Amino acid sequence: MSHKFPIRVYYEDTDMGGIVYYANYLKFIERARSDWVRHMGVDQVQMMEEDGVIFAVRRVEADFHAPAGFDDELVVVTKTVAVTGARLIVDQQVFRDDELLFSAQVTIVCIAETGQPARLPANIRLILH
């Protein structure tokens, strides 16, 4: 199952050349992941308060395929690749219509309030499988 999240490119997202500044793709996929998690019914604030853990990005492997520009309508597609006791791996792709512009594989872990690695809560693992 995949999640789709629409993004409109604003002037502030672009560089002097009028194309999306490369680091903003990370912001786009972050927003999409947050919406994806919310869409699955996971309350990250509640997870922090009840389980004492938060999600943290451990690794991002990204490829830039084609540029996006001001006022483009984009869609971020998020798909689960793997869920283990300690990590979640997702593929995220940014499209303009059918054209792939950006792709990333993101590894997400949980960390405790102490900053130490923690297991993904069991209820979260069940939702993500």
**Taking the domains of the chain in order of start, what are their residue ranges?**
2-128
The pLDDT score that the predictor gives to residue 113 is 87
Please name the CATH architecture into which domain 2-128 falls.
Roll (3.10)
Is 15 part of the annotated catalytic residue set? Answer: yes
Q: Are 94 and 75 in contact (CB under 8 A)?
A: yes
pTM: 0.92
Supply the mean pLDDT for the chain.
94
How far is 42 from 103, CA to CA, in rounded Å? 24
- In tens, the pLDDT along 112-125 reads 988 899 998 888 88
Looking at the chain, the whole-number percentage of residues with pLDDT higher than 70 is 100
One DSSP character per residue, 14-64 reads B-TTSBB-TTHHHHHHHHHHHHHHHHTT--HHHHHHHH-EEEEEEEEEEEE
The pLDDT score that the predictor gives to residue 77 is 98
Tell me the two tokens of residue 42: 């996971």
C-alpha distances out from residue 90 to 35, 61, 66, 82, 115, Å: 14, 11, 21, 7, 22
- In tens, the pLDDT along 18-31 reads 999 999 999 999 99
The pLDDT score that the predictor gives to residue 14 is 97
* Catalytic residue, candidates 13, 15, 91, 98: 15
Choose between 115 and 69: higher pLDDT: 69
